[in-house]
């Protein structure tokens, strides 16, 4: 057997210790054992976690949007009920079906503010002109029997009708008998 010098033995010993330490590091890592077992490594686990977090954020976003939509719908219903109740209590809401002289098929919108009714079309046109100059949409509507109503701010939502009614009533040309005609 050959004789090794003390320096050679020390370098061989150092090399053996370093190899053992390196082998120990490779064998002791979780990824090494996971790879041997056919399991995902740390990098794959992090990617999967990011996918899950993005999916949860998307789901939360959809749920928030759904809840916001439900809240808007509930506010709309509450506002509509308030408007309907306010107008019914004031006696300013009348159904077209209850008035025999109103040709319902000629009404274009569900709600119309009736600012006045005249037997002379010129008088009705003069009042409609006042409302138009105040920024409202106004049109003449012929009743059966020759009456001409001035319909102001036609709309299809009760909340818009109440808001328009309040705005019309603030004008000096608004009559105390102004009311809302509902096409039902």
pLDDT digits (tens, 9 = 90+) for 30-74: 776 677 777 888 888 889 899 999 988 899 899 999 999 999 989
Note whether residue 80 is domain-resident.
Answer: no
The CA–CA distances, whole Å, from 7 to 3, 18, 20, 141 equal 12, 16, 20, 116
- Average pLDDT score over the chain: 83
Domain housing 145: 93-182
Residues 32 and 112 in one domain: no
More confident residue, 111 or 11: 111
pLDDT at residue 26, as a whole number = 60
Q: How many residues in the chain?
A: 184
Q: What is the pLDDT of residue 76?
A: 84
144 has a pLDDT exceeding 80: no
| Burial of residue 140, with CB atoms counted within 10 A of its CB: 0-12 exposed, 13-18 middle, 19 or more buried | middle
pLDDT tens for each residue of 78-87: 888 887 787 7
Q: Is residue 155 part of a domain?
A: yes
Question: Which CATH number characterizes residue 157's domain?
Answer: 3.30.70.1070
């Amino acid at each position: 057997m050959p004789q090794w010098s003390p320096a050679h033995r020390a370098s061989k010993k150092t090399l053996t210790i370093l190899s053992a330490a390196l082998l120990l590091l490779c064998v002791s890592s979780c990824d090494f054992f996971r790879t041997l077992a056919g399991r995902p490594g740390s990098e794959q686990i992090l990617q999967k976690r990011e996918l899950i977090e993005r999916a949860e954020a998307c789901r939360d976003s959809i749920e928030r949007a759904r809840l916001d939509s439900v809240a808007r719908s509930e506010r709309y219903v509450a506002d509509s009920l308030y408007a309907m109740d306010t107008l019914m209590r004031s006696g300013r809401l009348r159904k077209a079906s209850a008035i025999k002289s109103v040709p319902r098929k000629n009404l274009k919108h569900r709600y119309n503010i009736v600012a006045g009714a005249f037997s002379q079309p010129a008088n009705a046109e003069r009042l409609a002109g006042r409302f138009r100059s105040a920024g409202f949409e106004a049109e003449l509507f012929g009743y059966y029997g020759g009456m001409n109503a001035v319909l102001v701010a036609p709309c299809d939502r009760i909340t818009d009708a109440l808001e328009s009614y309040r705005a019309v009533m603030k004008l000096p040309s608004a009559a105390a008998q102004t009311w809302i005609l509902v096409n039902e």
